[in-house]
Structure 1
Amino acid sequence: MNEPYNLDSLMAKLGDFGRYQGFQFFLHILSAVTAGLNMLSLATVAAIPDHRCVIPEVDLNPDGSIIFNATFATTEFIPRLESGKINSCLGWNVTTNSTYTCQKWIYDDTYYQTSRAIDWDFVCDRKWMGSVAQSIYMVGVLTGAVVMGTLADKYGRKPVFCISGILQLILGLLDAFTPEYYSFVIVRYIYGIFGSAGAYIPGFVLTMELVGPSKRSMCGIAFQAAFAFGIMLVAGWGSFIKDYQMLQIIYGLHSLVFFAHIWLMDESPRWLWSNGKVKEAVNIVQKALKINGHKGELDVAEYVSKGNAESRTRETEKKGMSDLFKTPNLRIKTINVCLCWFANSLVYYGLSFSTSSMKGNPYLNMFLMGAVELPSYVITVYLMDRLGRRILTAFCMLVGGVCCISAANMATGSTEAISVVMIGKFLIAASFAIIYNYSAELFPTVVRNSAMGLGSMAARCSGSLAPLLLLCDFLDPRLPSVVFAIIAIVSGTWVLFLPETLNKPMPSSIEDGENFGVGDTFFTSLSRRKRNASLETPPAKAFASEQMEPLR
């Protein structure tokens, strides 16, 4: 049988995961570590400790400055709330027997000696400033998801990855030395574009396009585990380094690793082939085969000849994000997937940012919030290729939503509430991880990076809302959790209407993407299984004829 000399036969020679793929995967996954670290860095750099009003009679020097050794210990000068906690925004004037609005604060230094919040007083009527700074970062990630995803489809995965990695370093250091709030917010916005989107999304797509089908689930979930490890690094460094400027410098210096990628990381052979750069694609695969120990030589000339001929006959029009909405099936899938990204991100970051309101050591709480994701990913890898993407995503979102509602009706900060929140984070982390793989498998090659960017954009919209939504707890402490729960449950139900991608070839063209999974929902699959179970001899490979051509 004659060899077809196409992209699939070329990539098949590499195998699913050899030494070459392993090394490239290691380079790609570093972007997930820094993405997680940059995303949550403000939780320590701008942490808001417990605080109270400055008491002039006790805490101030004659010149009006705060006494160096002023303590957080409360006195009769501080009014209390109905719950018995001190009122951190009001002081008590014993002379006039009335309250007054605080102008200066004393901060509890048990866990935080310095932070942006202490320097700029992100408390009381200025509390919004800290939430806006975090939200602006997420808006930057949203911008990066769209812009950098589109650029990666147009100009290649590698250049976007490397440029973003270098800018991460520059912006991370600039973040530490920005002296004024509004300049700081601008830096945070640009930092978000490159710090948690510009390298992360192309890195993920590079891995998905390089490894074989049997390793996609494992590698995709590993990206999420690396992101969680980045969160754990935030907590780890924060517990040792008490000066927030030095802490931010340490966070920023992690991006030094990306300089080596300029020489060590390769472009995606799939992207090169799809964009007419056939010889470059073949040369990379030939190098990879040698590293993997493959014996024998590629017929480079034949691959280049056939590939160039295929490029000339292929549709030359470039595809972009707008093509996701031009046909009905792709449009419905795109909207459904975007809602899933939106819901997962809202709950994930809502729970992550809420660690400051938990009792106990905030560094330990944040570390546990990251650590609880790791067993979630191990279990997810095991179940994804057995149960499928659709049912597992829906289950995790639905039960995660129930956990949020349950926690809302428990005493704030209680052991029971924290345990339920951790279970919710465990489940949402799993569904968030699956949706990355699920999205990459649902959409065709020509718009895959754009689809991932659009999904990530939806996630960052909700991620930017999460810190602001947490501010609504002054209306009712249960309100944020109830909102998280409702959105998770609605989206988890809609996921059941997406097609399953387990053991199915990834679509290549827009036409493939439009035809993929037509009529396949959880309910039709359930009905089909029941119907087949009622037959004595179920038909073998009932849908073999419906499979599309492999990824090109």
Structure 2
Amino acid sequence: MVFTQEKKSESTITIVRTEVIMDEDGATEKLNAVEKNGTGDGLPAKKFANAEEEELFDSLIEKIGNDGKFQRRFDILYNFILVMCVSMPYLNIILIMTIPDHWCYLPGREMTNLTVEQWKEEHIPRDPVKLNNGFSSCKMYLDDDDNNNSGNRSIVDCRYGWEYDRTWYTETAPTAQNWVCDKEVYVSNAFAAGRIGEIVGTLIFGQLGDQLGRMPVFYISMVILIVGRIASTFVSQWYYAFLVLIGLGSTASISTFQSPLVISMEVSDARKRSYVAFLQCVGWVIGLCVLAMMAWVLKDWQLIMVVSTLPCLAYFFMYKMFPESPRWLASKGRVKQAAEVLKYIARVNKTTYPDNAEEVLQKIADKKEKFYGLPTLFFHWRLAKNTLLIITCWGISGLSYYILMLNVTTMSGNPFMNFFWQSLVELPGYTLGKVCSNVFGRRWTQAGAYILGSFFCSIVLLVLPLQMPLLEIFFVSLLKMCLTTSFYMVWLQAIEIYPTCVRQTGTSLGGMVSNTVGIVGPYVVLLGTSYHASIPYAVILIGTMLSCVCASFLPETYNEKLPETLEDAQNFGKDQKFWNFKIYRKK
């Protein structure tokens, strides 16, 4: 939060600026009182040598407007509507890779008046692995047998292909290419390829963002995402080409969210930063809900892929509204270009461009940055302990979330409504995290989310054998809400626990671990469809119970002065008691 008090005389402006950088919920990061003097419309010229780069730039942004028309327009276009558009191609693969109910095809059914169920009774054996002893998807009776007693008839693999339940889809990628039974792992491999693509993309585009800038990386990412998703619809008959394109499209998915978020954070009031992040969460939820309804209408996997990806093309016609990050330009010594961007922001906000802005930008350009590597997170035992606890929670939350998203298409009932409800419930999950973390603190809100998640997961395991789709989706949605809350909380805790010098490194590590562990998710779901439907939920239950223990040993960060240095991180939370439980009330 930034408080500014101005004392004006005829020729001098004295600004006493007390800066508390926090999220809007009250997490204090830094408190500095700085006096600066200046005249006219320029920024204070004194004491630049002692000012931090962030403080210099924030003073400049504050002068041209850090909560004006430019910021509001940019956030609506790029942190809300864009996120809606990108979330659809990001997760449309889940819907298009659905494997509907299927069974062995046998020639001749068309010549009879038997219903599908009657035909199955005569020609398809029961599968004891399936709930309620359902019909096998991969086996058939050998009709050549002389003995027609089903108990003694030979059972063989499907010989003539498969029939598919077309109730919800006219075609999916697996039904088009028969990726079922012994080829069902092809579907899991495609999901894993997407996760691997995200990991590679995080490494590549994170570096490119620092070298080339936010704007070129954003548009490169958009091109790769669009081309990767649309091109994959035409190569499914060539499986390895399909895998490569799925992975390629996924490499760019994360950076399309991050680039506009970073720019907005850099040019916005500190009090608005958590609002911007939450705005992306809302856009994400709405985008997924729209995707579910769109898929229900289209029903064909190729149409779903193309139509859900095309809205992203609109952003190539709005490139003038997406400027390069002025902070990045200044840090790279491109002072004149940074000045042009700031002049553009000032024009949109209808504010005055400071006379000595380029002098400030040059000070930023001259400042040398000190970089801390990944090993720094493990140099001090307390920071190492917190890092291990955070990445454990982050990895398990990511795995559990991904398992639920993939498993939604294997649940009974309408797959589109199942996807819709599981997407919609994320919104109260994020909101619950924001509200509860300000009342009960970060640590116990996180642990409580895992406890509730374990409880609802246990109920799902009890409900599964009952074959009650509505009850199942209800409790799975509550489980998803708890996991969403835990995901929000672990992200917030990572931002607050890591010191300023390694904050980006720490959060990047958490995201990498989450994606890496998530590679296992598709195969957990495959075990559920191949052996028993309870396996994915059993994995989630074990994970949430372990995460609850880990989360309870993290230090409380709410209303605490957060660490800035590695020494601060080593001492942070050492005086806190484990059973310290408070209810915080806003004054």
Shared fold per TM-score greater than 0.5: yes
Stretch moving more, 233-242 or 203-212: 203-212
* 1:283-298 mapped onto 2 (5 Å cutoff): 283-295=340-352, 297-298=354-355
| Aligned equivalents of 1:134, 1:71: Cα separation in 2 | 35
Q: Among 90, 101, 106, which residue is 2:139 paired with?
A: 90
Stretch moving more, 435-444 or 119-128: 435-444
- Aligned residue in 2 for 1:176: 233
Return the offset for 1:332: 3.8
Identity of counterpart residues, as a percentage?
27
Q: Among 522, 541, 546, which residue is 1:490 paired with?
A: 546
Stretch moving more, 213-222 or 437-446: 437-446
Q: Among 369, 375, 399, which residue is 1:346 paired with?
A: 399
SS of 1:52's partner is strand
- Indicate conservation of the 8 Å contact 1:160/1:198, yes or no: yes
* 1:202-213 mapped onto 2 (5 Å cutoff): 202-213=259-270
- Aligned residue in 2 for 1:24: 74
Q: Among 535, 556, 567, which residue is 1:479 paired with?
A: 535
- Aligned residue in 1 for 2:109: 58
| Aligned equivalents of 1:514, 1:74: Cα separation in 2 | 73
Listed as ranges, the gaps of 5+ residues in structure 2 are 1-34, 37-43, 49-55, 146-152
Return the offset for 1:164: 0.4
| Aligned equivalents of 2:497, 2:444: Cα separation in 1 | 15
* 1:20-169 mapped onto 2 (5 Å cutoff): 20-29=70-79, 30=81, 32-58=83-109, 72-75=116-119, 76-82=122-128, 83-96=132-145, 97-103=153-159, 104-169=161-226
- Aligned residue in 1 for 2:23: none
User: TM-score, with normalisation over the residues of structure 2?
Assistant: 0.78
SS of 2:103's partner is strand
Tell me the alpha carbon deviations over residues 445-471 of structure 1, each in whole angstroms, 9 at most, x when there is no partner: 665554443322212123221111112
- Aligned residue in 2 for 1:439: 494
Tell me the alpha carbon deviations over residues 114-138 of structure 1, each in whole angstroms, 9 at most, x when there is no partner: 1111111122222111111112111
- Aligned residue in 2 for 1:429: 484
Return the offset for 1:376: 2.4
SS of 2:299's partner is coil
Question: Given residue 100 of structure 2, which amino acid in structure 1 is its aligned partner?
Answer: P
SS of 2:184's partner is helix
Return the offset for 1:102: 0.8
Return the offset for 1:54: 0.7
SS of 1:297's partner is coil
User: TM-score, with normalisation over the residues of structure 1?
Assistant: 0.83
| Aligned equivalents of 1:378, 1:479: Cα separation in 2 | 30
Question: Given residue 491 of structure 1, which amino acid in structure 2 is its aligned partner?
Answer: S
| Aligned equivalents of 1:208, 1:435: Cα separation in 2 | 20
| Aligned equivalents of 2:65, 2:546: Cα separation in 1 | 40
| Aligned equivalents of 1:150, 1:397: Cα separation in 2 | 34
Over the aligned positions, Cα root-mean-square deviation in angstroms equals 3.3
Q: How many residues align?
A: 517
> Of Structure 1 and Structure 2, which has the larger fraction of its residues in strand?
2
SS of 2:533's partner is coil
Structure exhibiting the larger radius of gyration computed from Cα positions: 2
| Aligned equivalents of 2:328, 2:115: Cα separation in 1 | 60
Question: Given residue 361 of structure 2, which amino acid in structure 1 is its aligned partner?
Answer: V
Alignment of 1:512 with 2:561, yes or no, is no
* 1:224-303 mapped onto 2 (5 Å cutoff): 224-260=281-317, 262-277=319-334, 280-281=337-338, 283-295=340-352, 297-303=354-360
Alignment of 1:190 with 2:248, yes or no, is yes
| Aligned equivalents of 2:581, 2:173: Cα separation in 1 | 58
| Aligned equivalents of 2:525, 2:381: Cα separation in 1 | 36
Return the offset for 1:401: 2.8
Question: CA 1:33–1:457 in 2, change beyond 3 Å: closer, same or farther?
Answer: farther
Question: CA 1:477–1:169 in 2, change beyond 3 Å: closer, same or farther?
Answer: closer
Return the offset for 1:501: 4.7
* 1:410-421 mapped onto 2 (5 Å cutoff): 410-412=463-465, 413-414=467-468, 415-421=470-476
Question: Given residue 86 of structure 1, which amino acid in structure 2 is its aligned partner?
Answer: F
Listed as ranges, the gaps of 5+ residues in structure 1 are 61-66, 531-552
Question: Given residue 243 of structure 2, which amino acid in structure 1 is its aligned partner?
Answer: V
| Aligned equivalents of 1:185, 1:350: Cα separation in 2 | 20
